[in-house]
Amino acid sequence: MTAYLLMFGAAFLAATLLPFYSEVLVVGLLIDRPEEWFWIWIVASFGNTLGSAANWVLGRFLLRYQERKWFPFKADGLSRSQQWFQKYGAWSLLMAWAPIGGDALTFVAGVMRVHFALFLALTFAGKAGRYLAIVLAMKLAW
C-alpha cells in the first residue's frame, strides 16, 4: 500500500507546477510487481489527473496575481499556452501529459474556465494513455 501511495503522490506532484517525475517510480513498480500493472496504471493515471486538477484550480483563481514574482508562469509562456488553447480548444487537454507545456495547458484551462467535468475527462484520457504506453512498453520488455 505504501508503494501505491508514494506512486500516487509522485504522479500528483509530476502534474503540478513543481518539477517532479513519476515515470521512474511507475517503471520500478512495474518491474517489481508486473502482475499488478492494471492497478499501477490506474493509480498513476488518477494521481496525475488530480495534480492537473490542482493546476486548473490555480488557473481559475490565481490569474489575478500574474504580475507577482512568485507566479509560476512567465507572461510569454502563458501567452503561448493560451494561443495554443484558443487554436485547439479543450481538445488540447489530451496533450496535458506532455512534459513541455502540459502543465501550462491545465493551468490555462482553469484561466479559460473550461467546464471541470470536461477538463477531467480529457485530461484523464491523455494521461491514462501515456501511462498505458509505459505499461505496454514494459510488457514488451518482459
How is residue 2 written as a grid cell? 505504501
How is residue 107 written as a grid cell? 493551468
pTM of the model: 0.86
CB 139 within 8 A of CB 112: no
Residues 27-55 have pLDDT tens digits of 999 999 999 999 999 999 999 999 999 99
Higher pLDDT pick, 35 / 101: 35
CB 105 within 8 A of CB 73: no
How is residue 75 written as a grid cell? 507572461
Residues 52-100 have pLDDT tens digits of 999 999 989 887 888 888 877 777 777 777 787 888 889 989 999 988 8
d(CA 60, CA 35): 40
Q: Say which residues have a Cβ less than 8 Å from residue 32's Cβ, sequence separation at least 6.
A: 3
